[in-house]
Amino acid sequence: MKRLLTAVTLLLWAQTASADEMRMAVTTSFDNSGLADVLLPAIKADVDLDVRLLVVGTGQALRLGEAGDVDAVLVHSKAAEEKFVAEGHGTHRREIMYNDFVFVGPNADPAEIAGATSAADAVQRIEGVKASFVSRGDDSGTHKAEKKIWAGAGLDSAAFGDWYRPVGAGMGAALNTAAGMNAYILADRASWLNFGNKADLALLYSGDPALFNQYALLPVNPDKNANIRNDLAMKLEGWLTSPRAAELINGYKINGQPLFVFNATP
Amino acid sequence: MVDIWEGLSAAFWLIVQFDTELWEISLRSLRVTLTALVIASVIAIPLGTYLAVQRFRYRRFTISLINALMGLPPVVVGLVVYILLSRSGPFGVLNLLFTPTAMIIAQVIIITPVIASIAHQSMRELWAEYHDLLISLNTSKWQRITTLVRDGRRNLLTAALAGFGRAIGEVGAIMIVGGNIDHVTRVLTTAIALETGKGDFALALGLGFVLIGLAIVVNLAIHTLSRTEREGQW
Amino acid sequence: MVSRLFPLTLQDVAVRRQGKRIIGPIDMVLDPSGPTMVIGPNGSGKTTLLRVMHGIERISAGSATWAAPDSSKHAFVFQSPIVMRRSVVENLAYPLRLVKTPAAQIKETVDYWLDRIGLTPVQNSPATRLSGGERQKLAIARALVRKPDVLFLDEPCANLDGRATHEIETLLQEIAEAGTHLVMATHDMGQARRLAHDLVFMLDGKIHETGPAATKFSTPETQALAAFLRGDIVT
């Protein structure tokens, strides 16, 4: 009993010790890439800042920012981000880097998207043979990007039949579903490369600039409440746009493949 | 296809290599859950016992309510606690969101009805057995409750362990209110969800086996303690 | 010998459950000078009468009044002994702990009763492991640790063999001689004859006949009691 009470006390005590510690909501695709494991220790070493990541979908990340429960948001959905800033939830939007989305599907490639000429062509081929396609369906940045591609190809994803499966799940869970169903799916390259359960899936199409995926940092408006550490968010922004960050981001590779392209303007 | 053996071997290596991160999240799991268990038991056991010995106007309703709350989806609990603890919510000034304390609060809400309901069941049986004697001895309400709790402590332990089982394996609520922050609020269940999301089924399964092992160890430890206590007493 | 608690006056007492009459109407004054045996066929209301007297049964009509109301001065032994899920020692100590008796006094009293009922060797075992006879002796001893003036017993030997019954009867006689009033329901006529000073005969929820055992056994007033004592089926 005494030990438990001590544990509780210690636990409560542990929370009050927060010197330079900030919270940032990030998307699952960012965390799944593994880049955070490289950047966070470097941030700690360079500017003595503990960044606590809340890994959620883009929709939830922006909600956490709106509620003032995090100090900054790092997501990839330009329209939603601009709305976030316009509504006064964030102080500004700062582009940091981009990676790209890739089309993943069964090795046999029944829709023959490996020979597609563009992202729009790829999705038209999938729709043409009604090949199984798993959609995130969770209003995340990736989901929004996917819907944009369907729309760009003149197709209405809301009217699709049974072959189109919105699963309402994160990137990893959606990839697991696609692996289980041997279906096509749009994924960010980092999540795909780091994904451990590839089964019979393979990367079939990538490279169209329409598939570029811009990440931007949104410091949360400090007027929301007294606990928001805008100073730390600014410190983080300073670091994320520095040459040191550029070097680490551009140099990050999985299986010899670079994932991110640093494109912050000084 | 990843199979169970890979999970078992992952669990084995994690344990024999004394993986510090595994220790950290396992201890946090235990700390959060045991704290929640103590708080929930302190509320639920007297409540369940009181409902067994005392008749009052809304007793049936209260019991039904507790039984209904047992089926409350943890995600809903998590969401409600999130809204309450959010900096934009009524208790935002406490700044408790995304801390272990927030996870404890959510778990207390989830397991208190479970413990209270099971405690009430077994206390009702014991009360039927003791009723005439305790009335005959002119006991006060408080004496009745303490007598039932003392003599029914082994059944109450079962109730508490049921609560422990539900809390230690819970992921939906603590994911929302804890945020699964590395080194702060990551526990075994949220780590399992994370590794599953990454498609690393072997590691996820390995952590799952560690979780099961932890639950077994705690159950055995508590049962052993209660046995030695009983032999000393009787 | 007669306790100051008595007489107990039952006035027009009735107990009904779900509209069904269990006992009543009953009018009686209980002021005994020795053990009182309550006899009667099954279902005649013996248990309910004892419970009314002890004050643990809700009365639907009438009143039960002690000359000096003090519920701590009487105790009850139930037909199937209620054994607490504790050690033998703790079962005996329980009524004393309820009234915050000093530890030394508890030990003294409990040791005395353990010895008296022959359970000293098993004092630390769970009471739930005792045999039927030992359980009933334990229940009687537990009822006596607070030194009550009146002890109600509801067929304490109903499920026991001859030897255990004999031990308990001996114990009860000793208690009675030491000044505790026994009010006991029994269906065993031999036991009633051995223990009774006064007799209460119940039939169909009412008191059919009552008086000193010495005369009632030899010269029953009513047909029903005569038939009951002969062993006939009486309803």
CB C44 within 8 A of CB C67: no
Residue A102, both tokens: 């890739």
Q: Which residues of B touch A194 (CB under 8 A)?
A: 198
For residue A87, with 0-12 CB atoms within 10 Å meaning exposed, 13-18 middle and 19 or more buried, which class applies?
exposed
Q: What is the pLDDT of residue B229?
A: 56
- HEC string for chain A: CHHHHHHHHHHHHHHHCCCCEEEEEEEHHHHHCCHHHHHHHHHHHHHCCEEEEEEECHHHHHHHHHCCCCCEEEECCHHHHHHHHHCCCECCCEEEEEEEEEEEEECCCCCCHHHCCCHHHHHHHHHHHCCCEEECCCCCHHHHHHHHHHHHCCCCHHHCCCCEEECCCCHHHHHHHHHHHCCEEEEEHHHHHHCCCCCCEEEEECCCHHHEEEEEEEEECCCCCCCCCHHHHHHHHHHHCCHHHHHHHHHCEECCEECCEECCCC
A46 and A69 both lie in a single domain: yes
Query: Which superfamily does B2-226 belong to?
Result: MetI-like (1.10.3720.10)
Q: Which residues of B touch A228 (CB under 8 A)?
A: 87
Nearest-by-CA chain B residue for A174: B197
Q: What is the pLDDT of residue B232?
A: 43
Q: Do A67 and B1 touch (CB under 8 A)?
A: no
Q: Give, rounded to a whole angstrom, the gap between the first and last alpha carbons of chain A.
A: 56
Nearest-by-CA chain B residue for A61: B179
Q: Examine the pLDDT at B2 and tell me if it is beyond 60.
A: no
CATH for A175: 3.40.190.10
Distance CA C50, CA C56 (A): 9
Maximum CA extent, chain A: 69
- From the CB coordinates, do chains C and B have 3 or more pairs under 8 Å? yes
Q: What is the pLDDT of residue B230?
A: 54
- Give all chains having 3 or more CB-to-CB distances under 8 Å with chain C: B
Higher pLDDT, B36 or A11: B36
A117 and A218 both lie in a single domain: no
Nearest-by-CA chain B residue for A36: B182
Specify the residue for token string 């994904």.
Answer: A195
Higher pLDDT, B156 or A57: B156
DSSP one-letter code for C148: -
Q: What is the pLDDT of residue A234?
A: 93
Mean pLDDT of B128-155: 93
Rounded to a whole number, what is the distance in Å from the CA of C71 to chain B's nearest CA? 8
Q: Dihedral through CA B181, CA A60, CA A208, CA A116, nearest 10?
A: 100
Q: Examine the pLDDT at B200 and tell me if it is beyond 90.
A: no
Mean pLDDT of B62-82: 93
Residues 72-91 of A with CB under 8 A from B: none
Q: Examine the pLDDT at A51 and tell me if it is beyond 60.
A: yes
Q: Do B198 and A196 touch (CB under 8 A)?
A: yes
Q: What is the pLDDT of residue C105?
A: 95
* DSSP, residue by residue, C158-218: TT--HHHHHHHHHHHHHHHHTTPEEEEE-S-HHHHHHH-SEEEEEETTEEEEEEEHHHHHH
Residue A54, both tokens: 């809340």
DSSP one-letter code for C79: S
Q: What is the pLDDT of residue C94?
A: 96
Mean pLDDT of B53-61: 90
Q: Do B198 and A194 touch (CB under 8 A)?
A: yes
A153 and A203 both lie in a single domain: yes
Per-residue pLDDT band at A168 (split at 50, 70, 90): confident
CA distances from B231 to A16, B48, C97 (A): 43, 27, 21
Distance CA A63, CA B86 (A): 11
Q: Examine the pLDDT at A194 and tell me if it is beyond 90.
A: no
The pLDDT tens digits for B204-218 are 888 998 999 999 999
- DSSP-assigned beta bridge partners for residue C151: C75, C182
A61 and A146 both lie in a single domain: no
Q: What is the pLDDT of residue B111?
A: 96
The pLDDT tens digits for A213-245 are 899 999 999 998 888 899 999 999 999 999 999
Mean pLDDT of B30-50: 95
Render each residue's pLDDT in chain C as its tens digit; 235 residues: 445 788 889 999 999 988 899 997 999 998 888 899 999 998 899 999 999 999 899 899 998 888 887 777 889 999 889 999 999 999 999 999 999 999 999 999 999 999 999 999 999 999 999 998 999 999 999 999 999 999 999 999 888 888 889 999 999 999 999 989 999 999 888 899 999 999 999 999 999 999 998 899 888 989 999 999 888 888 7
Nearest-by-CA chain B residue for A200: B1
Domain assignment of residue A92, given as a range: 2-98+214-262
Rounded to a whole number, what is the distance in Å from the CA of C85 to chain B's nearest CA? 6
**Number of CB atoms found within 10 A of residue A17's CB:** 7
Q: Do B196 and A227 touch (CB under 8 A)?
A: no
Q: What is the pLDDT of residue B234?
A: 38
A53 and A141 both lie in a single domain: no
Q: What is the pLDDT of residue B228?
A: 59
Mean pLDDT of A155-182: 90
Q: What percent of chain A has pLDDT over 70?
A: 93
A110 and A235 both lie in a single domain: no
Residue B233's contacts (CB-CB under 8 Å, 6 or more residues apart) are C86, C87, C90
A228 and A255 both lie in a single domain: yes
DSSP one-letter code for B201: H
The length of chain A is 266
Q: Do C84 and B132 touch (CB under 8 A)?
A: no
Mean pLDDT, chain A, as a whole number? 88
Q: What is the pLDDT of residue A153?
A: 92
Q: What is the pLDDT of residue A6?
A: 63
Task: Give me the interface pTM, i.e. the ipTM.
Answer: 0.90
Number of domains in chain A: 2
Interface of B with C (CB under 8 A): 126, 129-130, 132-133, 135-139, 143, 147, 151-152, 233-234
Q: Which of C84, C125, C138, C145 should be substituted to probe chain B, the one whose Cβ sees the most B Cβ atoms within 10 Å?
A: C84
Phi and psi dihedrals of A216, rounded to 5? -135, 150
Q: Examine the pLDDT at B56 and tell me if it is beyond 80.
A: yes
- DSSP-assigned beta bridge partners for residue A110: none
CA A218 to chain centroid = 14
Q: Examine the pLDDT at B18 and tell me if it is beyond 90.
A: no
Q: What is the pLDDT of residue A225?
A: 86
Per-residue pLDDT band at B233 (split at 50, 70, 90): very low
Name the least confident of A194-198, B42-46, C75-79.
A194-198
Q: Which of C51, C98, C125 should be substituted to probe chain B, the one whose Cβ sees the most B Cβ atoms within 10 Å?
A: C98
Residue A190: closest CA among A145, A142, A133: A142
In what helix (H) or strand (E) does residue B6 lie, and over which residues does it extend?
A: helix B4-16
CA C62 to chain centroid = 22
A177 and A191 both lie in a single domain: yes
Q: Examine the pLDDT at B83 and tell me if it is beyond 70.
A: yes
Per-residue pLDDT band at A7 (split at 50, 70, 90): low
Higher pLDDT, C158 or A10: C158
Q: Examine the pLDDT at A63 and tell me if it is beyond 80.
A: yes
Mean pLDDT, chain B, as a whole number? 89
CATH number of the domain at C8-82+149-230, please?
Answer: 3.40.50.300
Mean pLDDT of B163-170: 93
A203 and A73 both lie in a single domain: no
Mean pLDDT of B181-206: 87
Q: What is the pLDDT of residue A9?
A: 54
Residue where one domain finishes, among candidates A211, A229, A244 = A211
Per-residue pLDDT band at B51 (split at 50, 70, 90): very high
Distance CA C138, CA A96 (A): 82
Q: What is the pLDDT of residue A227?
A: 86
Any idea where the domains of chain C sit in the sequence? 8-82+149-230
- From the CB coordinates, do chains C and A have 3 or more pairs under 8 Å? no
- Give all chains having 3 or more CB-to-CB distances under 8 Å with chain B: A, C
Phi and psi dihedrals of C103, rounded to 5? -55, -40
A92 and A223 both lie in a single domain: yes
Residue C72, both tokens: 């701590």
